[in-house]
Amino acid sequence: MAETEKPIATRLRGMELIDTPLLNKGSAFTTEERAALGLDGLLPPTVEDLDTQVRRVGEAYKGKTTDLERHIYLRALQDTSETLFYKFLIDHVTDLMPMVYTPVVGLGCQQFSEIYRRPRGLFVSYPLRDRIDAILEGAGDLDVKVIVVTDGERILGLGDQGAGGMGIPIGKLSLYTACGGIAPENTLPILLDVGTNNKERLEDPLYIGWRHERIAGAEYEAFVDAFVQAVKRKWPNVLLQFEDFAQSHATLFLERYRDQLCMFNDDVQGTAAVVVGTAFSAVKVAGGSIADQRVVVVGAGSAGCGIAEQLIKAAVEEGADPAEARSRFYMIDREGLVLDDMQGLWPFQQKLAQKTSAVAAWPAGEKPGRFSLAEVVKIVKPTMLIGVSGQPGIFTEAVISQMAETAARPIIFPLSNPTSRCEALPSDVLAWTDGRAVIGTGSPFAPVEYGGKTYPIAQTNNSYIFPGLGLGVLALGIPRVSDGMFMATSRALAETAPASDDVPRLLPSLADIRKVSRHIAIAVGKAAVKEGLIPAIGDDEITARIDAAMWQPAYRPIVAA
Annotation: binding site for a divalent metal cation: 243-244, 267
Tell me the catalytic residues.
Answer: 101, 172
Cα–Cα distance between 332 and 327 in angstroms, integer? 14
Q: How far is CA 446 from CA 69, 460, 461, in A?
A: 21, 14, 15
Q: Is-contact 177 183, C-beta < 8 A?
A: yes
Sequence length of the chain is 561
**What CA dihedral angle connects 395, 397, 401 and 403, to 10 degrees?**
-10
The residue type of 377 is: V
Binding positions for (S)-malate are 154, 417, 461
Task: For residue 314, give the H/E element and its range.
Answer: helix 302-317
Cα–Cα distance between 525 and 218 in angstroms, integer? 38
Pairing of β 295-298 and β 262-265: unpaired
CA 388, 169, 240, 533 torsion-angle sign:
negative
Count Cβ atoms below 10 Å from residue 458 Cβ, excluding itself.
25
Vertex 255: Cα angle to 254 and 256 (nearest 5): 95
Cα–Cα distance between 171 and 420 in angstroms, integer? 19
Pairing of β 8-10 and β 558-560: parallel
Cα–Cα distance between 535 and 409 in angstroms, integer? 44
Q: Is-contact 146 468, C-beta < 8 A?
A: no
Cα–Cα distance between 119 and 117 in angstroms, integer? 7
Closest by Cα among 113, 221, 119 to 165: 113
Cα–Cα distance between 413 and 407 in angstroms, integer? 14
What SS3 class is residue 336?
A: strand
Cα–Cα distance between 503 and 454 in angstroms, integer? 8
Task: For residue 222, give the H/E element and its range.
Answer: helix 217-234
